[in-house]
Amino acid sequence: MLTKIREKAQGAFAWGILILICVPFALWGINNYLDTGTEAVVASVGDKDFYQRDVNKAYEEYSQNFQGLGIDEKSLKAQALQKLIKDEVLLQYVHAEGLVVTDNEARDFIKALPYFQVDGKFSDQQYKTLLSSQRISSSEFVSRIKNALIMEQFQHSIVDSSFATQYDVESFFKIQNQLRDIDYVTVPVQSLTEQPTTEEITAYYQQHQDLYRTPEQVSVEYVELSLDDLAKKIVVTDDKLKAFYEEQKAQYTMPERRKISHILFLVNEKVTEKVALEKALKVKQELANKDFSTIAAEVSEDKLTAKKGGDLGLFNIGVMEKAFEDAASTLKLGEVSNPVKSAFGYHLIKVTELVPGNIKSFDSVKSEVIKAYQKAQAENAFYEAGQKLTEMSYENPDNLQTVADALGVSVQKSLLFTREKGDGIAANDKIRSAAFSEEVLQGNNSVPVEQGADRLVVVRLSEHKVAAKRELNEVKQEVADVLSKEKAQLLTAQKAAQIKARLQAGESIQVLAAENKLEIKAEKALTRSKNKLPEQLSHVIFTAAKPDGTKPSVFIAALPSGEQVVVSLSKVTAGIMSEDDKKQMELAKKNIANAFGQTEFNQVLNSLQTEANVEINTKNQAQAQIQGQ
């Protein structure tokens, strides 16, 4: 079962397992800073209560799935709470049903995870260090992994049992490959004759003050551990460098460059080996007085290379048969081989370019060797320093100077930055996420943030500026621009609605286009997957109702530019399976079955939640969201 889970990793819980390992190290430790005795319950599932800290942690984990998608924080927090509830409902159910994952299975799963591996093998030291830095015991971590695996096991028991019939697949392709005939006109954004009044600007500003605020900003102090910096401190001597150079000599070796051409004489049911060999020997004699590439173009039965004078390009060991490679690798520049037998027939081979390989001398690459040696020697020091950074930044959560002194680095400081944007160290979204995490905003050090494989950074709050209201005078033009845009879009929508109504009343699209000075565009046999229309327009076209008899289906699609497209759908033709589709039949069945299974699982989960004793304290939830902002 665990092997299946690792191979598929398709469900929400498989992703949750990865989040459990990669993200909560930045979150679990926060529980040690909180006094939960007086916290109000935000939600409960049976006897399990969830507090603001639980919602905040769920949001931090859940939001990792949606970074960069522009989904607002309030919506994500509501979704995170729902996922928290659904997961608990399912967890209580699978425990009640007696589903189990053994300790050994869970530990085998953990050992297979790259996060706890060093040089491709499970590292007990790495495992203990990461758990210790967050003050979580191995037994507790194994318990959390077991819960996630049990839920994954239940999900797969439903998803994997689903199937799709031939009818399901054919129905899918009828829709997927459907053809639609349309005519459409694009209504441009209308021009305004009047600008917004002072009264309108004031009223809009008062109703939307949350939109006109300076964003929340922070600056941080940070210490940075860099492999390159550690490497520069490694002392080198010529003896050590020369020994390292000998060990790594392959890195400083320029391989031989050998380019070859050939003439092929095929052996097949019509041509015997004897005949092919006689042809090859005869041509070999002719080559004494004739150009190889010319003869290759005339007689070589490798038609693809014959067009290029027999050119096979650069010769690489391991590509051709051994006899061919042996001959090609021993020829001198310009020399032609005797006939060489392969599975295809007989070859005459010529070396057309030859640059001997060479080993760069120690003195010529000494600067490169120094850098490589220092980096190699610094890797162990970097790992050990990373452990010290993790431990000391946690043990001394109220300052960075202690760990900076211990590691021999300096405490640096950033400029102010927001959640969405920053300069310098804050240009990295992982740093911004850590800086705005609850533990840092409460005055504690962050956990180490990885910046690639060779940099670790710990941050702590230096300055925090909360979001503040901007005065009307400061944003008056911004408000006026928004109002103008909204008015123009409203006029555009009204114009499009008028055209739609007249089309539905039976008027000709040609007449309406001419009257409004619009260009008619037509698409015949438009397909869902291969069209150049804007995504929003294509989506509306292929989700619109079919024409009713001879009467077209008329609808409007709004584009991000503010333009409105009025579409007249005149014909819908059911799709058919292409030859390529038929070749993908089994994959299509599998994907459709998986979609059916996932839908069924979601229905089961919703049913379990309906039957469970779930309570949400709306007042406390709203307060938690406000405090979490």
Q: Is the dihedral of CA 84, 54, 129, 437 positive or negative?
A: positive
Asked whether the beta carbons of 169 and 585 are under 8 A apart, the reply is yes
pLDDT category of residue 204 using cuts at 50, 70 and 90: very high
The answer as to whether 588 is a domain residue is no
Q: What are phi and psi of 62, to 5 degrees?
A: -65, -40
The answer as to whether 205 is a domain residue is no
Structure tokens at 623: 């307060």
Task: Tell me which long-range contacts 240-243 makes (C-beta under 8 A, separation of at least 24).
Answer: 240/373, 241/362, 241/366, 241/369, 241/370, 241/373, 242/362
- Give the span between the Cα atoms of 230 and 380, in whole angstroms: 10
DSSP, res 396: S
- Please give the pLDDT value at position 241: 86
Higher-confidence residue of 489 and 377: namely 489
Tokens 């007086």 — which residue?
Answer: 38
The answer as to whether 40 is a domain residue is yes
The tens digit of pLDDT for each residue in 253-267 reads 777 788 999 999 999
Residues 430 and 335 in one domain: no
Residues 304 and 430 in one domain: no
The tens digit of pLDDT for each residue in 89-133 reads 999 999 999 988 888 888 888 888 877 887 778 888 778 777 775
CA atoms within 13 A on the CB side of 550: 1
Q: What are phi and psi of 518, to 5 degrees?
A: -115, 150
Which of 540, 539, 541 minimizes the C-alpha distance to 523?
A: 541
Domain end position, chosen among 356, 383, 412: 356
Residues 17 and 66 in one domain: yes
Domain end position, chosen among 323, 356, 389: 356
Q: Total structural domains in the chain? A: 4
- Please give the pLDDT value at position 27: 29
- Please give the pLDDT value at position 619: 57
The tens digit of pLDDT for each residue in 272-323 reads 999 999 999 999 999 988 999 999 999 999 988 998 999 988 887 666 788 8
Higher-confidence residue of 53 and 225: namely 225
Residues 8 and 145 in one domain: yes
Residues 268 and 335 in one domain: yes
Residue 409, pLDDT > 80, answer yes
Question: Which residues make beta-bridge pairs with 45?
Answer: 48, 614
The answer as to whether 170 is a domain residue is no
Residues 7 and 151 in one domain: yes
Residues 10 and 150 in one domain: yes
Residues 411 and 513 in one domain: no
Provide the percentage of residues in the chain whose pLDDT is more than 90: 44
- Please give the pLDDT value at position 281: 94
Residues 434 and 321 in one domain: no
The tens digit of pLDDT for each residue in 427-454 reads 998 899 899 998 899 999 998 998 877 8
Residues 282 and 304 in one domain: yes
The answer as to whether 202 is a domain residue is no
Q: Residue 317: exposed, middle, or buried by beta-carbon count in 10 A (0-12, 13-18, 19+)?
A: exposed
The answer as to whether 56 is a domain residue is yes
- Please give the pLDDT value at position 542: 93
The answer as to whether 53 is a domain residue is yes
What is the value of pTM for the model shown?
Answer: 0.52
Residues 14 and 147 in one domain: yes
Domain enclosing residue 510, as ranges? 179-190+474-573
- Give the span between the Cα atoms of 536 and 98, in whole angstroms: 47
Higher-confidence residue of 627 and 311: namely 311
Residue 77, pLDDT > 60, answer yes
Q: What are phi and psi of 345, to 5 degrees?
A: 155, -140
Domain end position, chosen among 407, 437, 469: 469
Name which of 12-16, 154-158, 190-194, 248-252 the model is least confident about: 12-16
Residues 372 and 323 in one domain: no
Structure tokens at 377: 């020697």
pLDDT category of residue 358 using cuts at 50, 70 and 90: confident
CATH number at residue 49: 1.10.4030
Which of 413, 372, 404 minimizes the C-alpha distance to 385?
A: 404
The answer as to whether 584 is a domain residue is no
CATH number at residue 280: 3.10.50.40
- Give the span between the Cα atoms of 41 and 620, in whole angstroms: 7
